[in-house]
Amino acid sequence: MALAVFLQELDELARAAVEQFAAAVDGETLESARVAFLGAKQGRLKAAQKQMGNVGPSDRPLAGKRFNEVKQSIESAYAAAQQRLTGGSVRRPPDPTFDATLPGIRPQLGKRHPLTQTMEELKDIMGRLGFTVADGPEVEDERHNFEALNIPREHPARDPLENFYLATAGVGDPDSVFLLRSQTSTVQIRVMEAKRPPIRIISMGRVYRPDTADATHYPMFHQIEGLLVDHRVTMADLKSVLRLFAQTYLGSEVHIRFRPSFFPFTEPSVEVDYQWKDNWIEFGGAGMVDPHVLQAVGYDPEEVTGFAFGLGVERLCMRRHGVTDIREFYKNDVRFLQQF
């Protein structure tokens, strides 16, 4: 067989194979093209290989070289078609039962819990006032929950019946008796122990008290705590911050009122009420950080002063959305949760 004729046949074979692999529309047409060209017994490439034996011996190296090139191009055309079909980019014939105008099946998207949403928003508002977020543990020692906050051993707030003490050893040592924190004021101490003034933080999270659950109480709830310590901080600063905070979260028509009160860690202390329509509603406590607390963390009360506040997150969220029973937040009923 003349070399020229063999080479021409090889070219023709390559062209036909590339064309058919490119035209394959599914696994079936691809497979029949594969059998036709690359089949081990009857394939056309195999036939061409056999024909090579008829080419004159001096022409064989050239014929063999060309054969290998053609074999490679056919194999890669096959591989490309395979990739195209399994890669999903193939245009399949339209499915006559598919109606693009019917509504699809909506994926069920989850969302954040209303209290988490509330805390995110409170964090944003306070962030704009320059407060950064600090965190503290929910399992706390007596020093951070009471002692350093100027709550002495005899204080009724430390009564075992008012707290979730954990059964651990070390009774009498404020660093080794643990309880579920009853307030986020603990974080004030942790932050001041770790850092020098100026301090400007908020902290949000769960607190625990053995209250019987009813529409306004639950043994676990959330607080937002704020602390600002710097030179010449006054009660006017406290009131401005809490007013801005309330008006941003609840609406510009909301008014704020301070009522004299007592907390061991603030002096003077106040209850913070927000006016909602015609009612005054208590949202938490606040005051000027007591000098004893500043001393407990090694600050000099002659040099710096500060204010602190603690508000109930559930109360804020309930007021804003008109929720009337705190227990709704913890039932995990999607019919309630999906409304937020």
273 binds ligand DAH (CB under 6 A): no
Q: Which stretch binds ligand DAH (CB under 6 A): 73-81, 114-122, 239-247, 308-316?
A: 308-316
Total residues in contact with ligand DAH, by rule CB under 6 A: 12
Could you write out the DSSP letters of every residue in 228-241?
EEETT--HHHHHHH
Task: List, as own/partner pairs, every contact residues 291-300 make where C-beta atoms lie below 8 angstroms and the sequence separation is at least 24, other chains included.
Answer: 291/267, 292/150, 292/265, 293/148, 293/149, 293/150, 293/188, 293/189, 293/265, 294/192, 294/229, 296/147, 296/148, 296/150, 296/189, 297/148, 297/189, 297/192, 297/193, 298/193, 299/192, 299/196, 299/197, 299/229
Q: Which residue has the tokens 């039962």?
A: 97
Q: Which residues of 98-124 are buried (b: 16+ CB within 10 A; e: fewer)?
A: eeeeeeeeeeeeeeeebbeebbeebbe
Q: Which stretch binds ligand DAH (CB under 6 A): 20-28, 29-37, 294-302, 306-314?
A: 306-314
266 binds ligand DAH (CB under 6 A): yes
Alpha-helix runs per DSSP H in 158-298: 186-194, 235-250, 291-296
286 binds ligand DAH (CB under 6 A): yes
Alpha-helix runs per DSSP H in 174-333: 186-194, 235-250, 291-296, 313-321
297 binds ligand DAH (CB under 6 A): no
Contact partners, residue 268, CB within 8 Å, separation at least 6: 235, 260, 287, 288
Q: What character string, x for contact with ligand DAH (CB under 6 A) and - otherwise, covers 94-133?
A: ----------------------------------------
Nearer to ligand DAH, 118 or 184 (CB): 184
Q: Which stretch binds ligand DAH (CB under 6 A): 8-16, 34-42, 214-222, 278-286?
A: 278-286
How many CA atoms does the CB half-sphere of 145 hold within 13 Å?
Answer: 28
Chosen residue from 6, 208, 218, 263 binding ligand DAH by CB under 6 A: 263
Q: Which stretch binds ligand DAH (CB under 6 A): 54-62, 90-98, 245-253, 304-312?
A: 304-312
Backbone angles phi, psi at 325, to 5 degrees: -135, 115
Chosen residue from 33, 308, 313, 316 binding ligand DAH by CB under 6 A: 308
Name residues contacting ligand DAH, limited to 145-184 (CB under 6 A).
183
Q: How far is the CB of 224 from ligand DAH (least distance, A)?
A: 10
Chosen residue from 179, 287, 323, 326 binding ligand DAH by CB under 6 A: 287
Compute the Cα dihedral for 190, 194, 195, 201 and give only its sign: negative
Nearer to ligand DAH, 108 or 212 (CB): 212
Distance of CA 331 to the CA centre of its chain: 22
Nearer to ligand DAH, 16 or 244 (CB): 244
225 binds ligand DAH (CB under 6 A): yes
Whether residue 66 contacts residue 7, with contact meaning beta carbons closer than 8 Å, is answered with: yes
Nearer to ligand DAH, 118 or 185 (CB): 185
Q: What character string, x for contact with ligand DAH (CB under 6 A) and - otherwise, covers 180-209?
A: ---x-x------------------------
The span from the CA of 46 to the CA of 165, in Å, is 84
Q: Which stretch binds ligand DAH (CB under 6 A): 53-61, 245-253, 283-291, 317-325?
A: 283-291
Nearer to ligand DAH, 245 or 309 (CB): 309
Nearer to ligand DAH, 34 or 158 (CB): 158
The residues binding ligand DAH (CB under 6 A) are: 183, 185, 225, 263, 266, 284-287, 308-310
